Amino acid sequence: MKIIIHGGFFSESATNQETKKAKQNALSAIVQQSYEYLKKHTALETVVYATTLLEDNELFNAGLGSQVQSDGKVRMSAALMDGKSHKFSGVINIENVQHPIKIAERLSACEDSVLSGEGAVEFARNNGFGFYNPITPQRQQEFETKRNESLRKGTVGCVALDQHGNLATATSTGGKGFEFPCRVSDSATVAGNFANQHAAISCTGVGEDIVSVALAAKIVTRVTDGFTLQQACDKSFLELAEIDGFAGVIGIAASGEVYHTDSHPYMVWAALDVTLKVFE
């Protein structure tokens, strides 16, 4: 059993060590809590559980405390993928819900498994997910003063390998802040969130860069074709560098290999397996 989570890129952490430490401590607590959950649950259930904990922590740009778009509204995206069934589900630009990843989970049982905008909100309401305002006072102040330029690259994610050898991944984001209304990020696409029986990947960074190189799907495909997870990530990041892309990934392979890498520093993450705790 293994699990790895990320809290996205936080460039302000380079100068604000107190903020960086708080995020690292939060990730450490969440990964330990989620690992305990994994002991009695599937990888799919666990990545949803871990992502809801991340969505509930206002330190991260997903769920509570998501970035505000240029029209003053928060629109969130999230996706879920089961490595065993290859089922992908997600929501794009959903508003006024507490846990976008839980809406994605509910959609996994539906034929129309990726919804956006008003349709996603209507589906949430029809399935018992009530109104929730995710804007914190801090995010509102950032919007009003336009001081959030350095905070735009945050996303959260989780990848898990359960005791039955099944893989799953989940990713959730509140966007980059001040973007065009209804911009689509990578998080609810196979470029940012992908899994099969060989590997699972969650991405963070600049969504347009991640989509341009189909990053998550490309890494998983390479592992499927015989690369190690590290080899697949490293080769894919060489291709990302060709467009001067900005991204980070966490991943687990069916072999048990756990790997993370980024094109720039300050992606925060944490991982646990049966024998080892890793934290940065």
Catalytically active residues are 155
3-state secondary structure the chain: CEEEEEEEECHHHHCCHHHHHHHHHHHHHHHHHHHHHHCCCCHHHHHHHHHHHHHCCCCCCCCCCCCCCCCCCCCEEEEEEECCCCCEEEEEEECCCCCHHHHHHHHCCCCCCEEEHHHHHHHHHHCCCCCCCCCCHHHHHHHHHCCCHHHCCCCEEEEEECCCCCEEEEEEECCCCCCCCCCCCCCCCCCCEEECCCEEEEEEECHHHHHHCCHHHHHHHHHHCCCCHHHHHHHHHHHHHCCCCCEEEEEEECCCCEEEEECCCCEEEEEEECCCEEEC
Q: Which residues pair with 278 in a beta bridge?
A: 271
